[in-house]
């Protein structure tokens, strides 16, 4: 009856029916509890069913459920925009609302393209993308993602881009030379460069050094190319700072946020726009208007949930918790690595995300990796929600997960690896 996402229609197990959730736990209809070690696709940053978000939604519904944002405005949208802009310390001037990460990325791409059109530089239409990237499932987002099983059926419908390897180290001189040469040759045809700063998430939790990110941005800036950051995963504290870009000392021209914005409770996304980009749309000419919108854009209830989420972020000192979480996960992974040195490699931790690669000698890695499904099922049997990205096993829990429950997650991982055969 339901067509579940990212799910084979012929060979998948029946979905687990969930009836209740609280903090880091979800509960099935039999009452069994599961530790949500991936924060429901990285959204539930405060744990499930936080009372403050629940109350904020209730209070908002007593006043205003919804009004379209075209031609109208309301306090929750205004307050949320002001809150986010203040956290950017003046680097952005406007907030464009949408519904999810994919649409926030689409807004970035369309704004970047029309920015150049409005300036009379229509030849600037190409984007630089990276091979480990995933930016969503709409056509624009797929166009700037790395090649994968997700995008292959639609490859002939996607717009042209230039792909580079995800630059991880600041001393990858060969890769930086390739990028520099392309910028020199094609700079005037480029609209922008898009990447996930510090961590390419769905592409395999590929980590990037802050120095490498800064170098990429500075190279593009010297050519006048717009910089687009997809912080749907990396923002809102996941990588250790409120925005990931802060760690590199650079600022993008456009930035997308979603997932944890409402604490995973309601669908809401934003695209933050720098003043210099917004300036290209300050015109009385009809063709300079950005003709884009969604029915539920800036929904008051969603905005109220997001405002509550941001208050919780500050009141419960989430960044401090993230720092402690990073330290503990690194300890736990290192302990596991000593016992399973032949089975895992590349232990990596940053903020509230950690990952390892499963050594695979018998089959290719990637999303078709057969052990992924087995490990996921075995973890559920032991009361833990994991969802490996192919041969990449990661933990990205709610920021406020209790220490004993985090330890339990890694106990289960340890037992899974005992039975894993590379």
| CA–CA distances in Å: residue 330 to residues 232, 346, 355, 411 | 23, 12, 9, 14
In a domain? residue 48: no
Percent pLDDT > 70 in the chain is: 99
* Among 290, 315, 340, residue at a domain's last position: 315
Q: Are residues 285 and 356 in the same domain?
A: no
Compute the Cα dihedral for 119, 123, 125, 129 and give only its sign.
Answer: negative
User: Which helix or strand (DSSP H or E) is residue 32 part of?
Assistant: none
Query: Which tokens sit at 360?
Result: 């695979």
* Among 315, 342, 360, residue at a domain's last position: 315
Q: Phi and psi (nearest 5°) for 9?
A: -85, -5
| 155 pLDDT more than 80 | yes
In a domain? residue 299: yes
In a domain? residue 5: no
Beta carbons of 163 and 129 less than 8 angstroms apart = yes
According to the model, what pLDDT value does residue 107 have?
98
Beta carbons of 92 and 276 less than 8 angstroms apart = no
Angle made by CA atoms 16, 145, 277, in degrees to the nearest 5 = 115
In a domain? residue 16: no
**CA of residue 9 relative to chain centroid, distance:** 26
Percent pLDDT > 90 in the chain is: 89
In a domain? residue 83: yes
Q: What is the CATH number of the domain that holds 366?
A: 3.90.1150.10
| CA–CA distances in Å: residue 28 to residues 15, 24, 73, 278 | 11, 14, 40, 47
5 vs 142 pLDDT, higher one: 142
Render pLDDT for 177-210 as a digit per residue (tens, 0 to 9): 999 999 999 999 999 999 999 999 999 999 999 9
Q: Report the Cα–Cα distance between both ends of the chain, in Å, rounded.
A: 36
Q: Are residues 353 and 410 in the same domain?
A: yes
Q: Are residues 124 and 229 in the same domain?
A: yes
Q: Are residues 356 and 249 in the same domain?
A: no
Q: Are residues 321 and 311 in the same domain?
A: no
Q: What are the b/e assignments for 197-211, b being 16+ CB within 10 Å?
A: bbbbbbbbbbbbbbe
Render pLDDT for 222-272 as a digit per residue (tens, 0 to 9): 999 999 999 999 999 999 999 999 999 999 999 999 999 999 999 999 999
Render pLDDT for 354-374 as a digit per residue (tens, 0 to 9): 999 999 876 666 667 878 889
In a domain? residue 8: no
| 406 pLDDT more than 80 | yes
According to the model, what pLDDT value does residue 363 have?
61
Render pLDDT for 25-62 as a digit per residue (tens, 0 to 9): 999 999 999 999 999 999 999 999 999 999 999 999 99
| 11 pLDDT more than 90 | no
In a domain? residue 24: no
Q: Are residues 292 and 403 in the same domain?
A: no
Q: Are residues 240 and 368 in the same domain?
A: no
In a domain? residue 36: no
Q: Indicate the average pLDDT of the chain.
A: 95
Q: What is the mean pLDDT of residues 336-359?
A: 96
Q: What is the CATH number of the domain that holds 207?
A: 3.40.640.10
Query: Which tokens sit at 306?
Result: 């997001």
**Residue closest to 17 by CA, chosen among 6, 2, 37:** 2
Q: Are residues 299 and 325 in the same domain?
A: no
Q: Are residues 124 and 203 in the same domain?
A: yes
Q: Are residues 81 and 96 in the same domain?
A: yes
pTM above threshold 0.75? yes
d(CA 142, CA 145) in angstroms, rounded, equals 5
**β-pair type (344-350, 269-273):** unpaired
Class of residue 361 by CB neighbours under 10 A (exposed 0-12, middle 13-18, buried 19+)? exposed
Q: What are the b/e assignments for 228-241, b being 16+ CB within 10 Å?
A: bbbbbbbbbbbbbb
Q: Where are the alpha helices (DSSP H) in 119-262?
A: 139-143, 173-186, 210-221
Residue 282, domain extent: 53-315
According to the model, what pLDDT value does residue 94 have?
98
Q: Are residues 205 and 266 in the same domain?
A: yes
Render pLDDT for 99-113 as a digit per residue (tens, 0 to 9): 999 999 999 999 999
Q: What is the mean pLDDT of residues 124-144?
A: 96
The number of domains in the chain is 2
According to the model, what pLDDT value does residue 361 have?
74
* Among 287, 315, 343, residue at a domain's last position: 315
Q: Are residues 158 and 96 in the same domain?
A: yes
């Amino acid at each position: 009856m339901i067509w579940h996402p990212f799910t084979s229609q012929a060979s998948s197990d029946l979905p687990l029916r969930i009836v209740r959730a609280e903090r880091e736990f979800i509960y099935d209809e039999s009452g069994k509890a599961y530790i949500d070690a991936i924060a429901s696709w990285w959204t539930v940053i405060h744990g499930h069913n936080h009372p403050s978000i629940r109350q904020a939604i209730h209070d908002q519904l007593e006043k205003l459920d919804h009004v379209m944002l075209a031609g109208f405005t309301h306090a929750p949208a205004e307050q949320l925009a002001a809150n986010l802009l203040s956290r950017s310390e003046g680097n952005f001037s406007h907030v464009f609302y949408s519904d999810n990460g994919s649409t926030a990325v689409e807004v970035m791409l369309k704004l970047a393209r029309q920015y150049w059109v409005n300036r009379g530089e229509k030849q600037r239409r190409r984007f630089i993308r990276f091979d480990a990237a995933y930016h969503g499932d709409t056509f624009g987002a797929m166009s700037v993602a790395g090649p994968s099983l997700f995008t292959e059926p639609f490859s002939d419908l996607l717009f042209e881009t230039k792909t580079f390897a995800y630059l991880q180290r600041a001393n990858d001189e060969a890769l930086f030379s390739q990028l520099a040469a392309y910028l020199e040759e094609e700079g005037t045809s480029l609209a922008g460069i898009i990447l996930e700063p510090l961590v390419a998430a769905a592409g395999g939790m590929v980590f990037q050094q802050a120095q490498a990110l800064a170098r990429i941005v500075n190279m593009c800036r010297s050519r006048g190319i717009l910089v687009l950051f997809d912080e749907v995963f990396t923002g809102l504290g996941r990588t250790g700072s409120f925005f990931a870009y802060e760690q590199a000392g650079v600022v993008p021209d456009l930035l997308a946020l979603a997932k944890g914005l409402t604490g995973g409770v309601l669908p809401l996304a934003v695209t933050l726009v720098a003043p210099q980009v917004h300036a290209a749309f300050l015109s009385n000419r009809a063709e300079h208007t950005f003709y884009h919108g969604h029915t539920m854009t800036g929904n008051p209830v969603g905005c109220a949930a997001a405002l509550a989420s941001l208050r919780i972020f500050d009141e419960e000192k989430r960044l401090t918790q993230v720092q402690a979480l990073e330290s503990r996960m690194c300890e736990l992974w290192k302990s596991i690595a000593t016992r399973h040195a032949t089975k895992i490699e590349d232990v990596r931790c940053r903020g509230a995300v950690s990952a390892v690669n499963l050594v695979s000698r018998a089959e290719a890695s990637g999303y078709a990796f057969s052990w992924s499904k087995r490990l996921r099922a075995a973890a559920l049997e032991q009361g833990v929600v994991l969802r490996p990205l192919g041969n990449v096993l990661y933990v990205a829990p709610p920021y406020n997960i209790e220490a004993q429950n985090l330890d339990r997650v890694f106990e289960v991982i340890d037992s899974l690896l005992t039975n894993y055969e590379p």
